[in-house]
Chains A and B, each alone.
Chain A
Amino acid sequence: MQLIPKIAGIFIIGLSLSCTSLIPVQDLSKEALEGIGQLKEIEYNFHAACLEECTFAKVSQYKIEREENCACDLYLKADEQVNNLYFVLMDYWEGLYQLSSMEINHYNLNRPANALAASKLIEFKEDQLLAFQKLSEISLIAVTGQYRKNRVKEYMKEADPYQQIISEKLVFVLNENLLGLMGIQKEAWYSFYKGKSFDPALNAIDKASGAKEYYQLLADHRTRTDQIMVLIEVVEFIAEEHHKLVSSDLKLNSANFKAEIGRISADLRTLHYTYEQLKK
């Protein structure tokens, strides 16, 4: 008979501990993975920028060679640098996602409970046995849930300054250097096609066709720039929100935290939609 109050006590502790939902962290990580992950969808990179410049320079000099002969190997190093920054961020969010979304409800304690009953060390009635099994499962979930909650919080706090530096560097490299190279390319097109319009050897039809080519290049350039800028915004936004959440010291299962995540998700979805539209 003393067993029942004990069970009831465990049950109350179990219930209070089991309210440690990590779903908000799981949602945030999922959004971050989707958002930053879009970077891999951009087909344009430093190496592609180099090949574009090299082939355009050859075309503008009417230079035909058997092979491309573009010295672009160093640009692969720049892409490697972008990849390093990208992968370490993705790895972090992937880890947070896994840790916050681990399926722990499948601990099945009916076998140990049955063995305990069969051992006849303690006399169990069937409903008591079931209660014992259920309560053990609840406390196990609560303990691992509490453990995970603490770890997730600790990791986010520890990782925050580094994820900020890495995101900043990634944003800088994309914004200043990749878009910067594209800006230089744009001026090279302008210089070439505008120069053509003053070429006395060309007739009006040639000049008009050159102008058409130029404006097509500009249109493609604008679409590509817009795509990259949306992704830069995503990376900046996620880094900032991570920092805000860590410094606000919100409880991970509080209503405010959940509301914050809801807002972040909605904003990220808007950015994602913008990006998808630009891809069309």
Chain B
Amino acid sequence: MKDRFDSEQISHLADEFLEVAKKFNDYRFEKISQQKISHETFLEMGKKSNQLMKTAREMKLLSTIIVGEETAAAISKLSSINKEIKGSINSLIDIQKAFDFIGALGDIGLAIIDKNPAAIGNNISLIAELLKEKTS
């Protein structure tokens, strides 16, 4: 939980900085409209509020790029489950290949019985291909 806590804390702090910047802006707009501050002071105050917002941005960025233990562990665990799922898919594809293989062997049996050299040749090359696929 530590990483999310830190990440959330920094992000929350950025929100507070933004709130202060907003209040500061409201204040300078109020003062300038009441003509209680000069335009120069008003612009200077604007720079200060921009600075607060700049810091808030940097905090939001930092909060995002922090990858703590909990998230990193979850990513690695889910990745390894994903690998297992792919393994299962491959083993099911292998079942299909095995049946193709048995089928080709069966056809050789038939061709031998029929004394059909062309069919024997075709099936042998099919088996060779299947074997190549399985071992490659």
Contact = CB atoms under 8 A, between A and B. Distances in A.
A88 B103 contact: no
A92 B65 contact: no
Given A177-B63, A184-B53, A195-B42, A115 B82 contact: no
A165 B92 contact: no
Interface string A156-168: 0011011101101
A88 B82 contact: yes
A109 B70 CA distance: 49
Interface stretch (A7-15, A76-84, A212-220): A76-84
A91 B75 contact: no
A211 interface: no
A177 B60 contact: yes
B117 to A, nearest CB: 17
Interface residues of A, number: 66
B92 A104 contact: yes
A166 B96 contact: no
B85 A155 contact: yes
A176 B12 CA distance: 8
B124 interface: no
Contacts of B71: 85, 165-166, 169
Contacts, number: 168
Give the interface size class of chain B: 35 or more
Contacts of B46: 191, 195
A89 to B, nearest CB: 8
Given A181-B57, A195-B46, A74 B65 contact: yes
Contacts of A187: 18, 21-22, 25, 53
A62 interface: no
Contact of A159 (B15, B21, B78): B78
Interface in A33-74: 46, 53, 57, 74
Interface of A: 46, 53, 57, 74-75, 77-78, 81-82, 84-85, 88-89, 91-92, 95-96, 98-99, 102, 104, 106-109, 111-116, 118-119, 140, 144, 147-148, 151, 155, 158-159, 161-163, 165-166, 168-169, 172-173, 176-178, 180-181, 183-184, 187-188, 190-191, 194-195, 198-200
Given A75-B61, A106-B96, A112-B103, 18 more contacts: A46-B64, A77-B65, A78-B61, A88-B79, A92-B82, A99-B89, A112-B99, A155-B84, A158-B81, A162-B75, A162-B77, A162-B78, A166-B78, A169-B71, A180-B18, A187-B21, A198-B29, A199-B39
18 contacts: A46-B61, A77-B65, A81-B65, A88-B82, A95-B82, A99-B85, A99-B88, A102-B92, A107-B96, A119-B113, A162-B74, A166-B74, A169-B4, A184-B18, A187-B18, A194-B25, A195-B29, A198-B32
